Amino acid sequence: MKLFDVYPLYNITPVNAKGIHVYDEKGTEYLDLYGGHAVISIGHSHPYYVKSIQDQVAKLGFYSNAIQNPLQEELAQKLGELSGCVDYNLFLCNSGAEANENALKVASFVTNKSRVIAFKNSFHGRTSAAVAATDNPKINAPLNQQQEVTFIELGDLETVKSELQKGGVCTVIIEFIQGVGGLDESTQEFYEQLSNLCKKHDAFLIADEVQSGYGRTGDFFAFQKYNVTPDIISIAKGMGNGFPIGGILLHPNIEAKHGMLGTTFGGNHLACSAGIAVLNVLKDESLIQNAKKTGALLSEELKAIPQVKKLKGRGLMLGLEFDFPIKELRSKLLFEDQIFTGSTSNPNLLRILPPLCITIDDFKPFVEALKKHLS
Ligand SMILES: Cc1ncc(COP(=O)(O)O)c(C=O)c1O
């Protein structure tokens, strides 16, 4: 059997990794400023994380959601404490798309409505309603196009207002900092007014924190910079440091009913042990504070490079905008300097999503390589 060929691949074969570095089969060291797409939060192969998973799989790797699983409660309690969202309730699943799928479904169940408002350049995943709320016609099959989604320019409050007034909207789903779309963020006024409008029109506000959550921006959640209370918060990438786990945090006003949501694998013992280990390390090693501090220091250095026309994002979720496409620069960084970086749907934007344990000194090879290629 061959693989279904859907990914354009770099000719690099990582075989192990440690902290902020990845190694290929020849032992070549790569600096990981991409974090496997914002997934590696506490660093590759963190010894405490590895031991937690090893110990758990030796005891009990999986049993279904038909039995008591105290690990889910421990994860929920620790997540509540570290995120500050203590009153929310947690539903566990396996990926970002699945988290958003469940969030959209709950919004529709509770409000008994079905229209969705999403934003231009958004990315919410590739499953049914999540992909319909993603602004990319290329990945939307005719089956997905049956959903009623209205895409609005980020920051355009007037159009949001008039669409909500038309009625039938169950939710507004938003990334407070867009990831795949290119690190765009609107104003405090926009987000706070958006939240008020949702309340007024009985529409849920879903904060998609799949990429921006778990400390990546220097706050546990990107929305926490603003005075907003989302009805649902979706999480995934940084949550398991590579172990597939996702979830939604549901506001205490949302009543759970048996059978409303469900999954075979979500919240299994092994996934919970990975998730608990991540939360313990984030807390014990002050990695969220590190993301804020290191991100601020790096931003100063990057802003001083004249070819960087705009620096977008916060903490360790940064985008360097140039006035030329970055494809070649990204390839040079990878093949000449062994540095992984990311791209976005904005062809001029280089994306930085490193593990949150990185220090400002670790960025030296990147800043030097960047200056070399730009001069
Ligand atoms: C903001 C956001 N939401 C949802 C997703 C989908 O997550 P997954 O690929 O785990 O389904 C992504 C993935 O890049 C994302 O960036």
User: Ligand 1 center to residue 240 CA distance, Å?
Assistant: 14
Is residue 63 packed enough to be buried (19+ CB in 10 Å), middle (13-18) or exposed (0-12)? exposed
User: Ligand 1 center to residue 284 CA distance, Å?
Assistant: 27
Instruction: Give per-residue pLDDT as tens, 13-22.
Output: 999 999 999 9
pTM of the model: 0.98
**Ranges of the chain whose pLDDT falls below 70:** none
The rounded distance, in Å, linking the Cα atoms of 50 and 67 is 26
The rounded distance, in Å, linking the Cα atoms of 322 and 299 is 15
User: Ligand 1 center to residue 125 CA distance, Å?
Assistant: 5
- The separation between CA 356 and the C-alpha centre of its own chain, rounded to angstroms, equals 13
Q: Which residues of 321-347 are buried (b: 16+ CB within 10 A; e: fewer)?
A: bbeeebeebbeebbeebbbbbbbbebe
The rounded distance, in Å, linking the Cα atoms of 261 and 91 is 8
Ligand 1, atom nearest to 97 Cα:
11
Token representation of residue 170 = 């169950």
CA distances from 334 to 26, 258, 323 (A): 16, 49, 20
pLDDT at 202: 98
The rounded distance, in Å, linking the Cα atoms of 26 and 68 is 46
Ligand 1, atom nearest to 37 Cα:
14
pLDDT at 156: 98
Q: Sign of the C-alpha dihedral, residues 250, 252, 253, 259?
A: positive
pLDDT at 159: 98
Mutate to test the pocket of ligand 1, among 178, 185, 233, 237 (most ligand atoms within 8 A of CB): 237
Domains and CATH numbers, the chain: 55-284 (3.40.640.10), 287-358+369-375 (3.90.1150.10)
Element (DSSP H or E) covering residue 130: helix 128-132
Considering only CA atoms, which residue is closest to atom 8 of ligand 1?
A: 96
pLDDT at 189: 98
| Location of structure tokens 């009805």 | 231
Instruction: Give per-residue pLDDT as tens, 250-291.
Output: 999 999 999 999 999 999 999 999 999 999 999 999 999 999
